[in-house]
Structures are given as structure tokens and as C-alpha cells.
Amino acid sequence: MYIKSLEIKNFRNYEDFSIEFDKNLNIIIGKNAQGKTNLIEAVFLSSIGKSFRTSKENDLIKFGEENAIVRVSAEKKVIDTRVEIFIRKNFKKAIKKDGNTVRKTSELIDNIIIVIFSPEDLKIVKDEPEKRRKFIDRELAQIKPSYYNCLSAYKKILMQRNAYLKEDRVDDDILLIWDRQLVDYGSSLMKMRKEFIDKINIFSGKIHDNITNRKENLKITYDSNIKFSVDEKEQREIFKNAMENSLSTDKKMRTTTRGPHKDDMSFFVNSVNVRNFGSQGQQRTCALSLKLAELDFIKEETGEKGILLLDDVMSELDEERRNYLIRSLKENQIFVTATDLDENLVNNYSSAKVIEISNGCGTNFIDI
């Protein structure tokens, strides 16, 4: 799978821009605040219909304009695809896939699969649990419609329950209606998350082993807020009991204190918790192993080679990790943003395209 072309109109600081990409390596260079990240943000939109930077769609429209358009064409293993996104100020965006209107975002799932790797991702090990849950949700929602639908339903019910808990008078019988649904959807989420992390643990462990020349053993575990059981019936019973036991606390705190929305994941290197006791170098290596494991997981689950967006991340890695990244990604299409051209990066690929950006315009295109 690879992105063939991109067309954008009135998107961020771009007025009217189109380009054909190299199927291997695309390096987007330019000074800061010229539109490098905006370009790969437009590419990312084609995967799940959402930005990785903001939830405010009006921010995607060029200042002074009323609408924006993004068109992405991609070649896949079986059939090519084209995604068009129409964004209107203060209106719900419209999406078309292969000429057909997309009614639900879930219809984009497993169409164009993209992994984004930014400097923020290097902090995933030590940052708050919400960042790690977001990583799990983004990855699974992109390739599993069942997970996306389950997560959406769980979040909707959770929001309704939390809103009700903030009212002056709370009826336990009404809460019970939401609790039953949270148990059903939440148990399914836990099962899929556990399966995902178990696979990611295997993939990332092998990668980490190679990066550190077998000096470090990485283990990633699923820290479920509610005790996990492989038996689905037992899992629902455990979840149900947890909700019942936390009822008085929930009413006092006026929010739902138990469930997958409180889940986390832990990283251990040579049996030591890296979040609490690891060096910054170890934390970054774990993050790199995790992101590369995403691509292996995608390939196993879908048969497609995911597309990787490296947003200003090369400058954040030391030479050893940078070289490993370059060597290990030759099967995937890569987009790299940087202020300067890395000759070592170019020399490791049979073909590449260098795109120089200045104030939302492509000033120079070089096919190598």
C-alpha cells in the first residue's frame, strides 16, 4: 500500500497544491512554520477522516476561507482507492470513498492505513495513561470496525452516565441501565485490547532486541483497570461486581471511576519498570520499538504494509536509533519532515522524492 497523490485546496496554509509521491521515500524539507506538518496531516486525514493534531475542523480551513478540500489516491494490494474530504466552516465534513458518500467514519477503516510518529510519541512511556490509551484506540480503531463501533458506544454511554452522576438526585435503578451496557461494551474492549497488547509485546520485543544488540529485553503488559479474564462470562461478572462496588464512590466523586477508560499499559526493560526507573534513552528506545511494532501488527492483521509518517522525529533520535529506523523500514512507504536533507536517509533507498516547502507552497521537487 502506498499514497500515489495528494490534492489540497484552502487547507491550513495551502491555497491550491497537488503532488505525486514516491512509493518508497518522501522527504519534506523546509524551515519551521512553513507547512511541512500540514502536508502530512492532510495525508493522515485520508485514513480515519480525522486529524492527529486537532479535533476542531475549522482549524483545518485556510484563514479567510469558508471551505477546504483534501483528495488522496492510494494503490493497494488488491484495488486502488481514492478518498475525498470536504470541510465547510461550522458544518459537518463530508467524505467520499471511491466516489461513494461515507455515512460513518467506520467505513474508512482498513482502507488506507497510516502510522504517525512524532516527537510527542517518544514521551508515550512516561506520559499520562491517557496518551497510552489513545495509542491503543487509534491503532485498533483504524483496522478493526468492531473495535471502533464498540469504543464509540462505550464512550457515549460513559458520557451519559457521568452527566447523570452530576445531577442533584441520582436513581440507582437508572444507573443500572447504563451499567449493563458499560459491562457489555467494556468487556469486549478489554478482550480486544488484551489481544492487541499481547501481539504488540511480541513484535516490539524482537525489535527492541535488535536495536539494543540483545542487551535489553522489553516486555509490554496490559494494565486493565478491572481484573481481566479470558473467560467472557466471567469477565462480565467481574466487571458487573466492580461497578456495583464502586457505586457509592462514583456518586460521591460524581464520575465513573472504574472501567476501560482507566486502562493503562506498562513497559519493562530487563524486568525494571521503565516509566519509573528507566533513563530517557531507554524510554525513547521503548517508544521506537512500540511504533515499529505497529507496522508489523498491521501487516499481520490486514496483509497490507502500513504507511509511516515521521514528523520531525529524526532529529530527536541519536545516530544509532536513526540508522536502525532507516534500515528497518524499506518495505513501507515513508514520509519524513525535516528542516534539512539527510543524505544518509536518501542513500539507503532505491528511489526518493524531496519536496521543499515554503509558506504553503512547493518550491522545489527532486526525484532521486
pLDDT band at residue 366 using 50, 70 and 90 as cut-offs: confident
125-303 has which fold?
Answer: Glutathione S-transferase Yfyf (Class Pi); Chain A, domain 2 (1.20.1050)
Question: What mean pLDDT value characterizes the chain?
Answer: 93
pLDDT of 135 above 80? yes
pLDDT of 363 above 80? no
| pLDDT in the model for residue 3 | 97
Averaged pLDDT for residues 116-121: 88
**Hey, where are the domains in the chain?**
1-113+304-368, 125-303
| pLDDT in the model for residue 78 | 80
Q: Which CATH superfamily is domain 1-113+304-368 in?
A: P-loop containing nucleotide triphosphate hydrolases (3.40.50.300)
Percentage of the chain surpassing pLDDT 90? 76
| pLDDT in the model for residue 263 | 98
pLDDT band at residue 283 using 50, 70 and 90 as cut-offs: very high
| pLDDT in the model for residue 195 | 97
**360 with 13: CB under 8 angstroms?**
yes
Give pLDDT tens digits for 152-174: 999 999 999 999 999 999 999 99
Supply angle C-alpha 76, 80, 85, rounded to 5. 110
Averaged pLDDT for residues 256-280: 96
Q: 113-117, 264-268, 271-275, 359-363: which range is least confident on average?
A: 359-363
pLDDT of 362 above 80? no
| pLDDT in the model for residue 361 | 82
Percentage of the chain surpassing pLDDT 70? 99
pLDDT band at residue 182 using 50, 70 and 90 as cut-offs: very high
pLDDT band at residue 248 using 50, 70 and 90 as cut-offs: very high
Averaged pLDDT for residues 240-268: 97
Give pLDDT tens digits for 186-233: 999 999 999 999 999 999 999 999 999 899 999 999 999 999 999 999
| pLDDT in the model for residue 289 | 94
SS (H, E, C) the chain: CEEEEEEEEEECCEEEEEEECCCCEEEEECCCCCCHHHHHHHHHHHHHCCCCCCCCHHHHECCCCCEEEEEEEEECCCCCEEEEEEEECCCCCEEEECCEECCCHHHHCCCCCEEEECHHHHHCCCCCHHHHHHHHHHHHHHHCHHHHHHHHHHHHHHHHHHHHHCCCCCCHHHHHHHHHHHHHHHHHHHHHHHHHHHHHHHHHHHHHHHHCCCCCCEEEEEECCCCCCCCHHHHHHHHHHHHHHCHHHHHHHCCCCCCHHHCEEEEEECCEEHHHHCCHHHHHHHHHHHHHHHHHHHHHHHCCCCEEEEECCHHHCCHHHHHHHHHHCCCCCEEEEECCCCHHHHHCCCCCEEEEEECCEEEEEEEC
Averaged pLDDT for residues 60-81: 93
Beta partners for 75? 2
pLDDT of 365 above 80? no
Averaged pLDDT for residues 113-121: 90
